[in-house]
Structure 1
Amino acid sequence: MSERATFVQALRDFAERECGTREQRRALTAGGITHNQDLYRKLADLGWVGCALPEEYGGGGGTATDACHVIEEMAYGQAPLFGLGVTMVGATVVERFGTEEQKRDILGAVCRGDVIATAISEPGAGSDPGAMTCRAERRGDTYVLNGQKTWISCAHIATRIQVLCRTDSTGGKHEGITMIDVPADAPGIEIRPIATLGGDEVNDVYFTDVTVSADRVIGDEGKAWHQIMRTLNTDRLMCGALFLGHARRSFDDAVEYVREREQFGRPIGSFQAIRHRIADLATELECCRLLVYESAARLDLDPERCVPREASMVKLKVTETAKRIAVEGMQLLGGAGYTTEHDMERHLRESIVSTVYAGTSEIQREVIGRSYGL
């Protein structure tokens, strides 16, 4: 068995051991939580949260491919670790653009099990982040933040929030935007959960005269737009790995059901109509797997390479496929799929939003189309 295959098997064993039964998963998600911090710290203690971060900051020195495997296998295993992918992406920003002091502080905390949230969207700036109005005013050696962010994943469990805010309005709408590392418990921050079908995931975050030191700026002042565009490629790749895991689980659960469920004296999976649907879904799923890991391999060869086309293809294809498989799975299970006795209704709830966040499918198609000069 290769080193990577051994790594993947270890991930699967962890998920099976910690949340392999419905009883375990129910205990870990009691109260509707989607991120269990105790389980997350176990993952961090094994070195897997920071697997792709440099060794000098406490990481494993691995690759984007390694990170994709961690995210995919935890999703497949239904581990309630919603903050995992969000944190990995936030850590990538610090690794690429942070100061040496920031890397030692933030990346070290990530490797120990801290969660990072990233605040980009606003009520009037979702698919168009350049329209953001949340401001940070420079006052001597500090910045004072005022404004609102919305749909912020994991803000309620994060120790720090990477806030994109406007520090200069004299240039174009994509200029004058700065990323600032803000402690989640800083005075003046209010975090309000947004109730969703998926449970305890996203939040409104309000900043009222939140004061932080100027040395908390990540990267260059006024240049965060260019930084975040590069990071969005990683975000979309990680999102692809996440929903590849969800899609695999939906598919496997559906196959298991149609093998066992009998009607008219035989398993329903033996009927041609069902077999062909399964064949189509299996083919789509394999396409997704190849796309995710080919894109990750390209990024591993050149981590500084900007890959908006490939990253958007991953996000578009995998999330649309995950949603399709969950919907098809619901149909294949019939009424059973609609009950909480089976996991398919959860798969549907988790997958239905995947084509919306981290850039809608429509935005991904725009990115892809424009990459061909259209």
Structure 2
Amino acid sequence: MPRVLTDERRDLVKAIADFCRRECGTKEQRDELTAGGREPHNQKLYEKMAELGWLGIVVPEEYGGAGRGMADLCLFLEETAYGLAPISGFGTTVIAAAAYDKFGTEEQKRVVLEGMAKGRVEAVSMSEPGAGSDVGALTCRADGADGGYVINGQKTWCSNAHIADHILLIARTSHEGSKHEGLTQFLVPADAEGLEIRGIDTMGGREVNDLYFTDCFVPDSAVVGTPGQAWSQLMTGLNLERMILAALMLGTARRAFDDTLAYVRQREQFGRPIGSFQALKHRIADMATELECARLLVDDVAAAIDAEPGRVFAREASMAKLKCTELAKHVALEGMQMMGGYGYATEYGMEALLRSTVVSTVYGGTSEIQREIIGKTYGL
């Protein structure tokens, strides 16, 4: 189904696609950019995109960005994911930047938003060893001290902390009230004294980290927004985080589908292309239909968010995240099955797509959590 885009958006998509084909279109290029798949972010490539103005796509114009909305952001994310551009730092940077844009001081905005447009990376740290889906259970504390706060505790699964300029930290500043009260957001320099960043090896390469805070002092000016109100502040960013992940996985699912389609058209067994056999042809048809449904969902929710930027689309954003991440995992699994042994070979790349899609149903709120949220919006 043809996608109806404005001329400006069509030009953006084409420019991104051309850039990805030129800069990271071959496996040899991507291996060189990512140390053989170990490093999912390449800063030099990232800064090239910054020079083209793409990294500031949603940054307000007064801070050096283009000031565009969710629909444009989703197109950028989808196309870079489809093009396999190694810029994993962008997603967390957008999420962090949105928090500073809404709640930060003018100085915080200048540092983070202008830095984002120029190609700097930001990270967000919420999860702890004992607090994942239940963010309100976090225990990393920031105790008031003369002129600021002293932070102690451990964070985990912090994406891109090792390449970030700052960490947007959510820590407990009070135990009064419910577990969702007394949480505060802080801007913590990644090189702050008392902060140790230790990488966690995963099958997706070096992307996530443990953070250890030991008497790490930050001044009062590091507080982002109102002390004790981080939970309500975080809720305003749910649309963004879920749509970022939905758009990324939509692009990844498209890539897995196209790679699978190319293979089943070319691969011959029993004297004809394997895609001509009904067992595979119908699975291709089902995946293509589901991809169109997912694309329409992402486009529609993004347009709704742009039309009402102050509204939290909890149901719709969770649906988009759930649909796109589960679909991407399904398409990559189907691709691996249809490609047989080649699906497992690093030469063909499907195994890498599978690794990146499986984890997408976990981070940013698991599929189970998304279903719980959607169910609650129906009064269940």
Does 2:3 correspond to 1:26? no
CA distance in 2, matches of 1:197, 1:105: 33
* Unaligned runs of at least 5 residues, structure 2: 1-5
Determine the structure 1 residue equivalent to 2:126: 120
Alignment of 1:334-353 (within 5 A): 334-353=340-359
Using the TM superposition, give the Cα deviation of residue 230 of structure 1 relative to its aligned residue in structure 2, in angstroms: 1.7
- The one-letter code matched in structure 1 to 2:378 is Y
- Asked whether the equivalents of residues 141 and 153 of structure 2 are also in contact (C-alpha less than 8 Å), the reply is yes
Alignment of 1:113-152 (within 5 A): 113-152=119-158
Tell me the alpha carbon deviations over residues 4-63 of structure 1, each in whole angstroms, 9 at most, x when there is no partner.
Answer: 101110111111111011111110011511100111111111111111111001111111
Determine the structure 1 residue equivalent to 2:313: 307
Alignment of 1:253-268 (within 5 A): 253-268=259-274
Determine the structure 1 residue equivalent to 2:180: 174
Which of the numbers 277, 281, 287 marks the counterpart of 1:281? 287
Using the TM superposition, give the Cα deviation of residue 140 of structure 1 relative to its aligned residue in structure 2, in angstroms: 2.7
Using the TM superposition, give the Cα deviation of residue 302 of structure 1 relative to its aligned residue in structure 2, in angstroms: 1.5
- The one-letter code matched in structure 2 to 1:277 is R
CA distance in 2, matches of 1:233, 1:141: 34
Determine the structure 2 residue equivalent to 1:235: 241
CA distance in 2, matches of 1:91, 1:178: 16
The DSSP-based 3-state class of the residue aligned with 1:353 is helix
Aligned length: 374
- Asked whether the equivalents of residues 322 and 351 of structure 1 are also in contact (C-alpha less than 8 Å), the reply is yes
Does 2:11 correspond to 1:6? yes
Give the alignment's Cα RMSD to 1 decimal: 0.9
Which of the numbers 110, 115, 136 marks the counterpart of 2:116? 110
CA distance in 1, matches of 2:118, 2:316: 31
Determine the structure 2 residue equivalent to 1:368: 374
- The one-letter code matched in structure 2 to 1:196 is T
- The one-letter code matched in structure 1 to 2:290 is E
- The one-letter code matched in structure 2 to 1:179 is Q
Using the TM superposition, give the Cα deviation of residue 294 of structure 1 relative to its aligned residue in structure 2, in angstroms: 0.8
CA distance in 2, matches of 1:233, 1:301: 13
The DSSP-based 3-state class of the residue aligned with 2:142 is strand
Q: Which stretch shifts more, 63-72 or 149-158?
A: 63-72
Aligned structure 1 segments of 4 or more residues deviating by more than 2 angstroms:
none
- The one-letter code matched in structure 2 to 1:43 is M
Using the TM superposition, give the Cα deviation of residue 100 of structure 1 relative to its aligned residue in structure 2, in angstroms: 2.0
Determine the structure 2 residue equivalent to 1:69: 75
Tell me the alpha carbon deviations over residues 324-346 of structure 1, each in whole angstroms, 9 at most, x when there is no partner.
Answer: 00000000101111111101111
Which of the numbers 171, 179, 183 marks the counterpart of 2:189? 183
The DSSP-based 3-state class of the residue aligned with 2:158 is strand
CA distance in 2, matches of 1:138, 1:13: 51
Which of the numbers 77, 85, 98 marks the counterpart of 1:79? 85
Using the TM superposition, give the Cα deviation of residue 95 of structure 1 relative to its aligned residue in structure 2, in angstroms: 1.0
Determine the structure 2 residue equivalent to 1:290: 296
The alignment-based identity, stated in percent, is 59
CA distance in 2, matches of 1:351, 1:245: 11
The DSSP-based 3-state class of the residue aligned with 1:164 is strand
Alignment of 1:326-341 (within 5 A): 326-341=332-347
The DSSP-based 3-state class of the residue aligned with 1:324 is helix
The DSSP-based 3-state class of the residue aligned with 1:121 is coil
- Asked whether the equivalents of residues 50 and 88 of structure 1 are also in contact (C-alpha less than 8 Å), the reply is no
- The one-letter code matched in structure 2 to 1:72 is E
The DSSP-based 3-state class of the residue aligned with 2:205 is coil
- The one-letter code matched in structure 2 to 1:249 is R
Using the TM superposition, give the Cα deviation of residue 101 of structure 1 relative to its aligned residue in structure 2, in angstroms: 2.1
Determine the structure 2 residue equivalent to 1:55: 61
- The one-letter code matched in structure 2 to 1:118 is V
Tell me the alpha carbon deviations over residues 114-138 of structure 1, each in whole angstroms, 9 at most, x when there is no partner.
Answer: 1110000000000000000000111
- The one-letter code matched in structure 1 to 2:11 is T
Does 2:198 correspond to 1:198? no
- Asked whether the equivalents of residues 146 and 207 of structure 1 are also in contact (C-alpha less than 8 Å), the reply is yes
CA distance in 2, matches of 1:361, 1:335: 29
CA distance in 1, matches of 2:246, 2:232: 22
TM-score by length of 2: 0.97
- The one-letter code matched in structure 2 to 1:300 is D
The DSSP-based 3-state class of the residue aligned with 1:195 is strand
CA distance in 1, matches of 2:281, 2:127: 43
Which of the numbers 352, 363, 366 marks the counterpart of 1:357? 363
Using the TM superposition, give the Cα deviation of residue 232 of structure 1 relative to its aligned residue in structure 2, in angstroms: 2.4
Using the TM superposition, give the Cα deviation of residue 373 of structure 1 relative to its aligned residue in structure 2, in angstroms: 0.8
CA distance in 2, matches of 1:250, 1:194: 26
Using the TM superposition, give the Cα deviation of residue 233 of structure 1 relative to its aligned residue in structure 2, in angstroms: 2.2
* Unaligned runs of at least 5 residues, structure 1: none
- Asked whether the equivalents of residues 55 and 61 of structure 1 are also in contact (C-alpha less than 8 Å), the reply is yes
Which of the numbers 102, 109, 112 marks the counterpart of 1:96? 102
CA distance in 2, matches of 1:155, 1:287: 35
Using the TM superposition, give the Cα deviation of residue 204 of structure 1 relative to its aligned residue in structure 2, in angstroms: 0.5
- The one-letter code matched in structure 2 to 1:344 is M
- Asked whether the equivalents of residues 122 and 164 of structure 2 are also in contact (C-alpha less than 8 Å), the reply is yes
CA distance in 2, matches of 1:63, 1:9: 18
Determine the structure 1 residue equivalent to 2:3: none
